Amino acid sequence: MDREVPRGREGMTAMALKLSARDANFQAAFAALVAKGRETKANVDDVVASVLADVKARGDAAVIDSTRKFDRFSLTPETFAFTKAEIAGAASQCDATTLKALNEAAERIRDYHVRQLPKDEFYRDKAGIGLGWRWTAVSSAGLYVPGGTAALFSSVLMNAVPAKVAGVERLVVTMPTPDGKTNPLTLAACAVAGVDEVYRVGGAQAIAMLAYGTKSVRAVDKIVGPGNAYVASAKKQVFGTVGIDMVAGPSEVTVVSDALSDPAWIAADLMAQAEHDASSQSILITDDDGFAGRVIEAVEVLLKTLPRRETAAQSWRDHGAVIVVRSLLDAPDLINQIAPEHLELAVADPQTLLPRIRHAGAIFLGRHTPEALGDYNAGPSHVLPTSGAARFSSGLGVMDFLKRTSLIDCTGAGLAAIGPGAVAMAQAEVLDAHAQSVALRMKSPNS
């Protein structure tokens, strides 16, 4: 394990953690890297609980007070929502090229998610019992769009389009507008995605507003979308009152590359995650020590040019890693332990590695498939499990907005066939009413 001494601020960068599979302590060092937390250390749960309780008790007034305190501007119930004219007019404030890209991305995302729609099923088994299921969308969903250090208008498309494809009737967007300022591209994305209501409210108070409802805003059935530590805590605390998608942590990428890739390409891929947030993580896995050094050098060059270089440099220094393995065939085992949000296989034949990879939010195959495409217009939603959650969960999609209802249709003959078994099981569990519920019908199967 090796870490270069950090340079001064004028250099803006410091060496990420470097590990070699040939080192005797590699396994321990790698395990420490995987286990290392990147979340904000401050415990915000108590503050969030107070905000939630306040909004639940006082409704609109509490939302107004919290917005004044945290986002530094005043609201009234009449100004919670953006008007239809404001949403429609936002497009005129946007660059035409960006608007065109926004519409094209929405169409690609829509096309991808239409293919995810599941089918209803109904059949009769050999006992004559009719069985099946049907899918219905949640009636309403709230989408939180972060507005912090980078207003991610692309998140509107990535959350709202799958919801609309699923058939959600009422889709609500809420977003922070610090000092009352709004990115017109976010409103334009709401119009493109077919969002029904847009509110200029952020933070824990927005989650409370969506979960509990107020006099001015009706509650929703499910809340999705990323946010800061306060938003994440609020989503956890309102779960059960409403559904949620996931509690997302800082963004991350793992890039697997051989020595034939362009080091500048790989450096850009790593910094594309690092520039999100100082808590983001970028990891390179390669089988060539010389290539690892060239990528590190390319990162240093690139960092000098980035507008968000301070954020990216801190992420790279505090959470970045370069791992040199004996063979790229060893990479899947490491990947499955990391379970990264994003995984790039920038190698000659990614299909060689793919079958052995079980845990990753999204996988980008080949040298010409940078993760940034997934952020914007490849098609799949960029809302993905982080912090190892890809071991047990999936990225956001149509299924997150659907519910499956079981269907059972039993005839008299069918009851005669399977009823005795149900009675026996109920009696064994000492649930006599259960047993009678079946047995009484068996005595008069045609009544």
Phi, psi of 152 (to 5 degrees): -95, 80
Annotated catalytic residue: which of 276, 319, 342, 382? 342
Does the annotation mark 341 as catalytic? yes
Angle between helical axes of 289-303 and 263-274 (0-180°, round to 10): 60
Instruction: Indicate the Cα dihedral angle 264, 267, 269, 272, nearest 10°.
Output: -120
C-alpha to C-alpha distance for 197 and 182, rounded to whole angstroms = 15
Instruction: Indicate the Cα dihedral angle 231, 218, 194, 379, nearest 10°.
Output: 40
Distances (CA, A) of 328 to 23, 70, 255: 17, 48, 12
| Nearest CA-CA partner of 142 in 228, 220, 87 | 220
Does the annotation mark 342 as catalytic? yes
The DSSP result for 397-408, as a single string, is -GGGGEEEEEEE
**Cβ-based neighbour number of residue 193 at 10 Å:** 23
In this structure, are residues 284 and 292 in contact, taking their beta carbons and an 8 Å threshold? yes
Annotated catalytic residue: which of 197, 275, 300, 341? 341
| Nearest CA-CA partner of 376 in 155, 173, 149 | 155
Farthest CA pair distance, the chain = 88
Supply the residues annotated as catalytic: 341-342
